[in-house]
Chain A
Amino acid sequence: MIPELGHFALALALALSIAQAALGLFGAQRGSARLMEAAPPLAAGTLLATLAAFGCLMWSFAVNDTSVSNVAANSHSTKPMLYKLTATWGSHEGSMVLWVLILALCGGAVAAFGRDLPSALKARVLAVLGLVGVGFFAFILGTSNPFDRIWPPAPDGQGLNPVLQDPGLAFHPPLLYLGYVGCAVTFAFAIAALIEGRVDAAWGRWVRPWALAAWSFLTLGIALGSWWAYYELGWGGYWFWDPVENASLLPWLAGCALLHSAVVVEKREALKTWTVFLALLAFGLSLLGTFLVRSGVLNSVHAFASDPTRGVFILGLLMLYVGGGFALFAWRAAAMAPTGVFAPLSREGSLVLNNLLLCSIAAVVLAGTLYPMFADILLGQKISVGPPFFNTAILPLAVPLIGAMAVGAVMPWKRARLFPALQRLWWAALGGLAAFLLCLALAGARIGPALGFAAGAWLILGALADIADRLALFSRPRAALARAMALPRSAWGGAVAHAGMGVLILGLAGMGLATDRLASLKAGESVELSGYTWRLDRVESAQGPNFTARRATVSVLGADGRTVTVLEPERRSFPVGRTTTTEAAIHTSWLSDLYAVLGDERDGAAVLRLHHNPLAPWIWIGAAIMALGGALSLSDRRVRVSAPAPKSVRAGEARA
């Protein structure tokens, strides 16, 4: 009964979305206030119906209703309740329901918080969101019904993939989807602007919080996924340039460019066409990721089970929204005459540089991801593009990007001179140089990590210099606190996000100095790695809620012979589904990770892989700081309040 209700709620949501799209577009075109006013309640209705469908699905998982084939295939009665619930979005069908739920949430948020939006713009934005919803509801109902019944019911479920039974991964998809689907809102704003043929500062102010929110969620989602790969897959790596990882990085890069260029639209009414293009691109790239993961055209550990009919359906949606959006862009964007003319040496000039470099990086990642597939289908060649390509191609783009990140932030709008900007940053540059030399002195001639340390120090100190300068911390220290209170949150947010990037880069540089070794040890034997003695004490069997495990106890001794930590890496085998997972044991001192993985056992000896990863946690801490910067910036009152800020406030923050 409950699953049928859920199925019905999905169909209802489809019908409401159709109405939302049709009434919104038609009403805005006709200028009919009554029709336009119908869009927000319809969006609320879609949200309620989708919420009901999602709740029904979650309920089916909670009670382990094995007559629902999705539950039977992805859950099991012995699974802990948390993972029963998160299994709701663990499968292809369920994750699509989560996807549309977040889309409906975005629609509801635009309806609820967009009171001050011009009514035609609001109706069109809701209509485009409705239109996107129509496609995906139809996709779910047509090809991926999560409420399909099986008869007779399965005696018990087949269990969720145990690799996915982990808090990090359980919350990785919702965060990523919040990011992907947040891009749908900026997409809807872009389409609405193209229909209206008008982009102005107000539009930029409306788009920026959505771009910022989507970007922050994507940052968190990607970081959580990378962290999960680090501790769960047991390879000691954190980023593999896997096509599916790239697919999540692409909208992040486009979104990052978008939120910077939207600032230029807001402040200077320039870069309008470009910003609209980026909004279309960011959503296009999120849909591309959905297509790549779910259609089976990719060979990846992340890919869902493939089904050509689903692939064709998603490709159709991709073409409808992205192809349609770009066609509309080609037709209408010419009408949006560029207005602002500006000097290359200025805040907006540096934001253009930022956009160029970010988009170039996105182009490199896109090419590296798609080229093997297209080389296969067009030239019949099997090529694999791996980390060496991405690392060498992105480095020359990342260096100027990082260099300019700190400089751009301290430049004033309209017209700047390089020398005063650099003058503010001289001690950041000095700090970067010191980090470079220090790394060379301590770690030997390792140029890559040394450059990374220099870049990280440069960014963090640059952000500090920027804030110190805005507060006049050194020239008028007494007034600094008052100025700190008056400084807009978006200025704090920008500096925090840039510093977070610096922390992340320090983490990457530290991982460049990571060492590891493979050792086959009997109980009591030990090996040396990076100044520590790693001793295998014993290997024993252990029992978990739905798995059995072999657990090794490894004592790590410091140079002085004292025990630093005891690591207990596990190899778990799940009888349901017959899978084995490795649970790496990690001890972090926040400055470095000691990381141990248990491999096979043979003749009383266990194979252990031991890693020493300097600064590894900083990668994810840095990403979290970046997202925090986004949140700070979002909490700025000028973002929340749509009315333009009073002139006096604006004058006080000429460089904000």
Chain B
Amino acid sequence: MSAVPGGVPGGVPEPRRAAATPFSRRALLLLPALVAGGAGLGFFAMLRGLGTGGYDPRGVPSALLGKAPPAFELPPLEGIGLPGLSAADLRAPGRPVLVNFFASWCVPCVVEHPQLMRLAREGVPVFGVGYKDQPADSRRFLEKHGNPYARLGVDLPGRAAIDWGLYGVPETYLIDRGGVIRWRWAGPVTDDTLRADLQPLLRRYA
């Protein structure tokens, strides 16, 4: 009985099953070249996409772009004196608004917080959703870092986040004056994001 290394996932061939039929052996020996060629085509498509914008390893598109927000209704955060958030608040708000998903346990949320504060100071309505965050923790987070939100809903079970197709926190959506989602940003809103993406969009949809 001879030792027979079996085929391995990922197109690694096995050289010694062999002799049975020369054709199958040939096909097996050809497999690495074919896999490499296929991968090469894929990589080429990615490089093309990088140029045309069809492929972007950083951006996360959303199925909701160009649509109205999903139906949802979130209770307010107790003890902070702000109203809750529901789909009705986003139906034709009359001016562009931001919906920001955050959590006190999320470090990038702290990173983006100053930018949200600045937007709020500049008069852009920022609506918050506390994602899977204990109300007491959210309260402490806002007391510590400041509160940029005009409305704040609590999504403790994370149900609304599923309907929105949340990728992770923080995540920010821009809804235009007619109540259509125009932009989605997965990750912290940094100074660069603000300058390069958000401010031009805010001007365009104002």
Contacts and interface: CB of A to CB of B under 8 A. Distances in A.
Given A272-B15, A312-B47, 16 more contacts: A274-B15, A281-B32, A284-B36, A296-B57, A306-B50, A319-B40, A322-B36, A338-B19, A352-B5, A356-B6, A360-B8, A363-B12, A364-B10, A373-B46, A376-B46, A377-B45
B60 interface: yes
A477 interface: no
A41 interface: no
A356 B8 contact: yes
By secondary structure, the A interface counts as helix
A420 to B, nearest CB: 19
Interface in B1-36: 1-3, 5-6, 8-10, 12-16, 18-19, 22, 25-26, 29-30, 32-33, 36
Interface stretch (A70-78, A340-348, A485-493): A340-348
A464 interface: no
Nearest to A332: B29
B42 interface: yes
Interface in A272-311: 272-274, 277, 280-281, 284, 291, 295-299, 306, 308, 311
Contact of B60 (A272, A356, A363, A382): A382
Given A308-B50, A308-B51, A319-B36, A382 B29 contact: no
Contact of A359 (B8, B46, B49, B58): B8
Given A274-B5, A382-B167, A330 B46 contact: no
Interface string B38-70: 011011111101110001011011000000000
Contacts, number: 125
A306 B50 CA distance: 10
Interface in A244-284: 271-274, 277, 280-281, 284
Interface residues on chain B, size class: 35 or more
B98 to A, nearest CB: 21
Contacts of A333: 15, 29
B13 A277 contact: yes
A377 B55 contact: yes
17 contacts: A273-B15, A277-B15, A295-B47, A306-B50, A315-B40, A315-B44, A315-B47, A329-B32, A330-B32, A334-B22, A334-B25, A338-B16, A355-B5, A363-B9, A364-B10, A367-B9, A373-B42
B37 interface: yes
A308 B54 CA distance: 13
A271 B13 CA distance: 12
A378 interface: yes
Interface of B: 1-3, 5-6, 8-10, 12-16, 18-19, 22, 25-26, 29-30, 32-33, 36-37, 39-40, 42-47, 49-51, 55, 57-58, 60-61, 144, 167
A326 B32 contact: yes
Closest 6 CB pairs of A and B: A363-B10, A273-B15, A326-B33, A299-B57, A330-B30, A326-B32
A12 B167 CA distance: 52
A569 interface: no
A273 B58 contact: no
A286 to B, nearest CB: 14
B144 to A, nearest CB: 7
Interface string A355-380: 11001101110110010011011101
A273 B33 contact: no
Given A298-B57, A334-B25, A356 B5 contact: yes
Contacts of A319: 36-37, 40
Contacts of A558: none
Interface in A502-533: none
Nearest to B35: A326
A323 B47 contact: no
Contacts of A382: 60-61, 167
Contacts of A326: 32-33, 36
Interface in A545-581: none
Contacts of B16: 271, 273-274, 338
Nearest to A365: B10
Given A315-B44, A341-B2, A356-B8, A330 B15 contact: no
By secondary structure, the B interface counts as helix
B113 to A, nearest CB: 11
A342 B50 contact: no
A267 to B, nearest CB: 14
A179 B61 CA distance: 38
Interface of A: 271-274, 277, 280-281, 284, 291, 295-299, 306, 308, 311-312, 315, 318-319, 322-323, 326-327, 329-330, 333-334, 338, 341-344, 348-349, 352, 355-356, 359-360, 362-364, 366-367, 370, 373-374, 376-378, 380, 382, 602
B8 A363 contact: yes
Nearest to A264: B3
A338 B46 contact: no
A330 B11 CA distance: 13
Contacts of A295: 43, 47
Given A363-B8, A377-B45, A318 B40 contact: yes
A348 B2 CA distance: 11
Contacts of B37: 319, 323
B49 A377 contact: yes
A291 B39 CA distance: 12
B10 A367 contact: yes
A329 B33 contact: yes
Contacts of B14: 274
A341 B16 CA distance: 10
Nearest to A299: B57
Contacts of B12: 277, 281, 359, 362-363
Contacts of B6: 356
A311 B32 contact: no
Nearest to A333: B29
A325 to B, nearest CB: 9
B36 A323 contact: yes
A377 B2 CA distance: 42
Contacts of B44: 312, 315
Contacts of B50: 296-297, 306, 308, 311
A299 B58 contact: yes
B39 A370 contact: yes
A344 B1 contact: yes
Contacts of A272: 15
A327 B33 CA distance: 5
A566 B78 CA distance: 43
A297 B26 CA distance: 33
Contacts of B36: 284, 319, 322-323, 326
A244 to B, nearest CB: 12
A352 B5 CA distance: 7
B40 A323 contact: yes
Contacts of B45: 377
Contacts of B30: 330
B32 A297 contact: no
B29 A376 contact: no
Nearest to A603: B144
A483 to B, nearest CB: 31
Given A334-B29, A344-B3, A363-B9, A297 B40 contact: no
Contact of A602 (B10, B15, B26, B144): B144
Nearest to B11: A363
Given A281-B32, A338-B16, A382-B167, A376 B55 contact: yes
A25 to B, nearest CB: 20
